[in-house]
Amino acid sequence: MRKFILSLVTAALAFQACSNFEEINIDPNNPPTVPPELLLPPIISGAVSTMTASGTRAGQYVQHLAYPGGTSEGDGRYNLTGASWREEWNGAMRLLKDINQLKNIAQNANQPQYEALAHINKVYILSLMTDAFGDIPYDQAGMGNIDGMEFPKFQSQEEVYGLMLADLEKANQLLANLPAGATISRDILYNGNTSAWRKFANSLKVRILMRQSAKKNVATDLAAIFNNASQYPVFERAEDAATLVYHNNGNNFYTWFIQNPPADGSGVNFGDNARISTTLAGLLSNATDPRLRIYAAPTRNSFRAGTTAVYRGQPAGLSSDEQAAYYRTNNLNDGDFSVIGRRIRQESRAFLMTYAELLLLKAEAIHRDMGVNGDVTDVYQRAVNASFDKWKQVGSLTQTQSPFIDEAQKTAYWSIPANAYNAERGMTQIAEQYFIDSFLNGFEGWAAWRRTRIPQIKPGPSVLSPIPVRYVYSDNEQNNPSLVDWVNENMGGKMPDHNVKLWFQP
């Protein structure tokens, strides 16, 4: 009996020792669960990087930018394969793992404010992906690390849009009913302002609804948002817009930012191959639009000559021979074209969604008699002014130091009769303004153009295919059995190329 008791005591002590050992070996600096606020900054910056990466490729397709003939031949002349879009797909989908983790942690910790932000960021990222690729995984996106979900299930674009709208509604309700004292930390987009996040969620909902408007009647849903500000607050001023301001930490600069400006005082990279397109330059020049001096730099030759500033766009999609011929015919050289302007080069702001965009969508809804209250002429003018207001004076810097748009320039613009809203060509005016405001947000400009086909853009004279209307699933993804099954069941067994329309396109 005594031996039995001793054995029990020894076992108990051993168990306690093991238990204490496990406690000792828990690293307090490496907790098993990450606080949600630590996940938020890389999720937001990753979402913005997904958008900004569209500036060069999608931005070329919609002709915000054009590259000289022989440069980026594959993109500008549409010689494209699955490898062309590999990182556009992989980078975005990797972010979903962190977003799923943020959502799960928030739900388990009863922190609805972080759950709402998980929904909004998921929708934002996957809205870019479905607008570019079409059918994508949504419910199971970012779950490839879970047993049984190594190959997330694909869903139709129409279904994905519906799921995104439902998630934005969840976010709106969560943020509207937060418990007292709920706060958001490490928020690099809105600095913890839950009302601002709610406005972003509902404004994004408007974008997604209008994206579908050529295929579905979305009038009731749009009117419910625009006509009920208490239930669905949206952007009310330019400062409400989703704009990420990068900090000067040497790592997260926006694509176009110049950390070390050139010694010539121009503030731009004249050798950059990303030139302003003739399409964009023409729209701005024809309207005497003050945004021309913001978006574009004077040509290198006019800047160095010290003469009147010249702004000239680059024709899109030229081959090397066609570019050389264009130079000869017009007595030009590579110093006679405008690159991205000084103001953009010296700032580090990325526009996810602007107040001008929201107002232009509202103007379109009113123009199309979709039950939205308001005067279209007034909303249109406020939209254009909101686009101007993105470029206010910075401190006391002069126009030379950092170009800006002031009240006098606005007045001069509206004094031109052709710039006023005209009901007969209202849809064209709205879509052209949308194109202009979305400059360097290639995804949004390209998606809007595919829906409206405004403005008119022409491919180069000898490009290899029509203007692309979708990104192609990456070459790695084309080996995904879930995608293969989806294509076999829904696309006749043929993997879509960049000329196959997406569902939302008319």
Cα separation, 100 vs 88, whole angstroms: 19
The confidence score (pLDDT) of residue 430 equals 98
Tell me, what amino acid is at 425?
A: R
| Residues 1-23 pLDDT 10s | 444 444 444 444 444 444 444 44
**Long-range contacts (CB closer than 8 Å, 24 or more residues apart) made by 416-421:** 416/287, 416/288, 418/287, 419/287, 419/384, 420/377, 420/381, 421/363, 421/376, 421/377, 421/380, 421/381
Six-digit token pair at 262?
């050139």
Give CA angle at 125 (123, 126), nearest 5°: 65
Q: Residue 377 falls within a domain, yes or no? A: yes
Closest residue by Cα to residue 434 from 505, 341, 355: 355
| Residues 84-120 pLDDT 10s | 788 889 889 999 999 999 999 999 999 999 999 999 9
Closest residue by Cα to residue 75 from 472, 344, 479: 472
Cα separation, 211 vs 229, whole angstroms: 21
Q: Strands (DSSP E) along 138-283, which ranges?
A: 154-155, 242-245, 275-276
**Do 206 and 161 touch, CB atoms closer than 8 A?**
no
Cβ partners under 8 Å of residue 169, min gap 6? 205
Q: Strands (DSSP E) along 112-187, which ranges?
A: 136-137, 154-155
Average pLDDT of the segment spanning 281-304: 98
Q: Which of 53-57, 136-140, 210-214 has the lowest mean pLDDT?
A: 53-57
pLDDT at 251 over 80: no
- Whether 407 and 313 map to the same domain: the answer is no
pLDDT at 151 over 50: yes
Q: Residue 495 falls within a domain, yes or no? A: no
- Whether 433 and 333 map to the same domain: the answer is no
The answer, yes or no, to whether the previous bond of 459 is cis (omega within 30 of 0) is no
Cα separation, 491 vs 203, whole angstroms: 33
Give CA angle at 262 (274, 244), nearest 5°: 60
- Whether 357 and 313 map to the same domain: the answer is no
φ and ψ of 66, to 5 deg: -145, 145
3-state secondary structure labels for all residues of 325-391 = HHHHHHCCCCCCCCEECHHHHHCCEEEEECHHHHHHHHHHHHHCCCCCCCCHHHHHHHHHHHHHHHH
Closest residue by Cα to residue 120 from 215, 187, 34, 210: 187
Q: Residue 18 falls within a domain, yes or no? A: no
- Whether 375 and 476 map to the same domain: the answer is yes
pLDDT at 25 over 70: no
Cα separation values, 104 from 34, 39, 143, Å: 11, 12, 12
Count, residues in the chain: 506
| Residues 192-239 pLDDT 10s | 999 999 999 999 999 999 999 999 999 999 999 999 999 999 999 999
- Whether 141 and 236 map to the same domain: the answer is yes
Biggest alpha carbon–alpha carbon distance for the chain: 109
Cα separation values, 264 from 253, 268, 270, 302, 339, Å: 22, 9, 10, 13, 15
Note down the domain range covering 314: 275-285+296-338
pLDDT-based confidence at 26, cuts 50/70/90? very low
Q: Residue 13 falls within a domain, yes or no? A: no
- Whether 162 and 305 map to the same domain: the answer is no
**Do 341 and 272 touch, CB atoms closer than 8 A?**
no
| Residues 277-286 pLDDT 10s | 999 999 999 9
The confidence score (pLDDT) of residue 73 equals 72
- Whether 47 and 190 map to the same domain: the answer is yes
The CATH number given to whatever domain includes residue 73 is 1.25.40.390
Closest residue by Cα to residue 112 from 163, 180, 159, 55: 180
| Residues 299-354 pLDDT 10s | 999 999 998 999 999 999 999 999 999 999 999 999 999 999 999 999 989 999 99
Q: Residue 456 falls within a domain, yes or no? A: yes
- Whether 68 and 152 map to the same domain: the answer is yes
- Whether 52 and 135 map to the same domain: the answer is yes
Six-digit token pair at 74?
């594959």
Q: Residue 505 falls within a domain, yes or no? A: no
- Whether 470 and 436 map to the same domain: the answer is yes
Q: Residue 501 falls within a domain, yes or no? A: no
- Whether 378 and 244 map to the same domain: the answer is yes
**DSSP helix/strand/coil, 65:** strand
- Whether 333 and 381 map to the same domain: the answer is no
Q: Residue 183 falls within a domain, yes or no? A: yes
Number of domains present in the structure of the chain: 2
Cα separation values, 176 from 104, 113, 151, 189, Å: 20, 10, 35, 19
Six-digit token pair at 256?
């176009």
Neighbours of 276 (CB within 10 A): 27
